């Protein structure tokens, strides 16, 4: 970047590629149609990057237990539910049943969960935490809370409320897009 562009970027606030930098007097037209489109693209990119970093932070916290954050969440749901099924876990967690089954497989392999046939319907498998899984659950809850607390450090409660509102709308929009895409693929 030229010295002039860096000075203009600093003068107008922001870093190279930031919105103020793009609005500087010598900013070049971008592939975005306008400021709103640029902001939306930038926000989606930041949302993805934040999600990836948060998932990495959570996974690192649970690696000492020999599991990922998603596996820890499955185990905690099993402890809370007592007996459950992969289908129920998928609905509760908003994941597909195949992914949940892979999490359960690993947790069962490591002795945290157990599966058995449902006594009322032998076609169904019941999933439940083992004594090892129940013993580690309080530590897992504590780790989740520690990471959540650190993640929201410095963010005001009112802003967390606004974030939740925005994320709820974005989630609803994403659900609608998935449904429309699924319907288009079926037709």
- pLDDT at 3 > cutoff 60: no
What does the pLDDT look like over 97-142, one tens digit per residue? 999 999 999 999 999 999 998 788 777 889 999 999 999 999 999 9
pTM here is: 0.70
Mean pLDDT of 155-177: 92
Q: Which residue has the higher pLDDT, 175 or 23?
A: 175
Number of helices followed by number of strands (H, E) in the chain: 8, 3
- pLDDT at 6 > cutoff 60: no
What does the pLDDT look like over 43-93, one tens digit per residue? 889 999 999 999 999 999 999 999 999 999 999 999 999 989 999 999 999
Residue 182: which of 96, 103, 112 has the closest Cα? 96
pLDDT of residue 147: 92
pLDDT of residue 2: 41
What does the pLDDT look like over 7-40, one tens digit per residue? 443 343 444 444 444 444 444 445 556 777 778 8
pLDDT of residue 120: 80
As beta bridge partners, residue 84 has: 127
Contacts of 122-130 with CB under 8 Å at 24 or more apart are: 124/85, 125/85, 125/86, 126/83, 126/84, 126/85, 127/78, 127/83, 127/84, 127/85, 127/86, 127/89, 128/78, 128/82, 128/83, 128/84, 129/75, 129/78, 129/79
């Amino acid at each position: 970047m030229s010295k002039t562009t860096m000075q203009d970027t600093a003068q107008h606030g922001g870093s190279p590629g930031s919105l103020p930098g793009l609005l500087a007097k010598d900013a070049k037209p971008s592939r975005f149609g306008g400021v709103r489109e640029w902001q939306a693209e930038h926000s989606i990119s930041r949302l993805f990057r934040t999600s990836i970093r948060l998932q990495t932070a959570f996974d690192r916290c649970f690696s000492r237990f020999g599991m990922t954050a998603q596996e820890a969440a499955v185990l905690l749901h099993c402890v809370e539910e007592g007996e459950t099924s992969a289908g129920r876990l998928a609905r509760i967690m908003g994941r597909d049943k195949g992914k949940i089954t892979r999490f359960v497989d690993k947790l069962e392999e490591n002795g945290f969960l157990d599966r058995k046939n449902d006594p009322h319907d032998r076609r169904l498998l019941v999933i439940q935490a083992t004594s090892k899984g129940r013993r580690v659950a309080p530590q897992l809850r504590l780790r989740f809370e520690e990471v959540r607390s650190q993640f929201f450090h410095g963010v005001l409660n009112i802003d967390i409320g606004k974030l939740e509102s925005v994320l709820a709308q974005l989630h609803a929009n994403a659900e609608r897009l998935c449904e429309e895409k699924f319907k288009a693929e079926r037709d």
